[in-house]
Amino acid sequence: MIAAEGLDGSGKSAGLDALGRWLERKGRQTHLVAWEPSRLVTRAAAAPRGRQMLTPRVAALLSAAEVADRIARDVRPQLAQGDVVLADRYAWTGVARDVARGLDPAWASAVYRFAPRPDLVIFHRQEPAIAMARALASRPDSVAAASVAGAYGEFLDGLMAAFEWLLDGSSAGPWPVGVLVIDPRSGPDARTIAVRDAVRPLLGRLADRARA
Amino acid sequence: MPVATPGAHGLPGVLFVLEGIDRSGRSTHARRLEEHLRRAGRGVARTSLTTSLLASEAIRRAKQEGPADATELALLYAADLAERIEQLVLPALRAGLVVIADRYCWTPMARAEVRAVDPDWLDALFAFVPAPDAVLLLEVDAETSLTRRDRDPDPYESGLDLHLSSDVRDNYRLFQARIAACFDRYAVVAGFTRVVATDSSDDVGARVAAAAEAVLTARIGR
């Protein structure tokens, strides 16, 4: 299992697509699993009374429940049959979001321990300003949008700080995990080489497991 | 997991939790205790499992859609409890009320644990809940639970997904015994007060009231 993590517009999805195609050419069955916004949280936020109940902790638990459901259907069976699962954002995204909303980092990490530990996390570093420009590009320009951007900017800074904490600590996050950090200024070829170099030894291990 | 300790939550109110296997009389005695305390002039708030606005519906749906993932359900139960703690339990404790919780984190923990969910993870998941002043464990054996059982119990709550026996009644009894074994362990770790709950409702009610009064006297001195 390989998970790509990072802010919007960092090239995660394109990188994962390319990795998937490369793995398929090498004869691996791959499954791409995309992180989706929680339907329960979205629905709750749409109603005034729901919004009142939707504290950071309740939102964290509702979205984690949906992730657990998706993992039971789209991740565990695929890993069990020896396929490669590529996750476009995964547990770190959930933990970073919950920490950015003010929850205790140790608790937010523990919640996601139910998620199978990836063999590799590919972390795409990204400037919050670029991530924000990317996120706002699809929205209409207005006075309201400017104030949303202000609040969102703060949230992105919090997310980035939480990701840095996850990258930093051996005790941070749901599980200890191998990480490849991709620099935003690196060219596409350098990225491809770095990713393949990091993934190749994992495939050897997978082959060993299959033989055993 | 939280450990029952008088006053540990640091708020002026008092939190009582009633736990026990199915048909142990939890809900009946939560209501009776509320009436008893009200008659004694105390302000009471009561809350029970899956009555939250945001998670209850999702829990019902997850169970209906067939064999639900036990990890997903544990997280939904945690969301249900988190909402009720934030919206009801903590405000009531701050206001100095007596709060009666008809089941708390332990029923969801046991239901997940018997389905092979990691107990250490469940412990960490529910670490956010305030420690009750006392947890009253209503003790009935699985056989008694079976004789009191609904004709058509919830399949998840009676463990039909675990296929413990081809006989529905036998499956129910075996499942309740497994839940009871979890409660036995929690009782030691989390300092439950055991209440024998096999005899008449009046006798059990008197025992529950006496146990609650003892804690109230220690906490508030009256």
| pLDDT of A185 higher than 90 | no
pLDDT band at residue A204 using 50, 70 and 90 as cut-offs: confident
The pTM for the full model equals: 0.94
| A49: chain B residues, CB-CB within 8 Å | 53
ipTM computed for the complex? 0.95
Model pLDDT for residues B119-164, shown as the tens digit of each residue: 999 999 999 999 999 999 999 998 888 888 777 677 877 888 899 9
Judged by a CB distance cut-off of 8 A, whether residue B82 touches chain A is: yes
pLDDT band at residue A137 using 50, 70 and 90 as cut-offs: confident
Q: How far is the alpha carbon of A166 from chain B, nearest alpha carbon, in Å?
A: 18
Per-residue pLDDT, A211: 62
| pLDDT of B175 higher than 80 | yes
The better pLDDT of the pair A37, B135 is held by B135
Does the beta-carbon distance from B71 to A58 stay under 8 Å?
no
Strands (DSSP E) along B143-196, which ranges?
193-196
Per-residue pLDDT, B14: 98
| B87: chain A residues, CB-CB within 8 Å | 53
| A105: chain B residues, CB-CB within 8 Å | none
The architecture of the domain spanning A2-207 is 3-Layer(aba) Sandwich (3.40)
| pLDDT of A212 higher than 80 | no
Model pLDDT for residues A5-30, shown as the tens digit of each residue: 998 777 888 999 999 999 999 999 99
Please give the domain boundaries of chain B with CATH numbers for all domains.
14-220 (3.40.50.300)
**What does chain A look like in DSSP terms, one character per residue?**
-EEEEESTTSSHHHHHHHHHHHHHHTT--EEEEE----HHHHHHHTSHHHHHH--HHHHHHHHHHHHHHHHHHHTHHHHHTT-EEEEES-HHHHHHHHHHTT--HHHHHHHGGGSPPPSEEEEE---HHHHHHHHHTTS---HHHHHHHHHHHHHHHHHHHHHHHHHH-SS-SSS---EEEEPTTS-HHHHHHHHHHHHHHHHHHHHHHHH-
In the predicted model, what is the mean pLDDT of residues A36-43?
Answer: 91
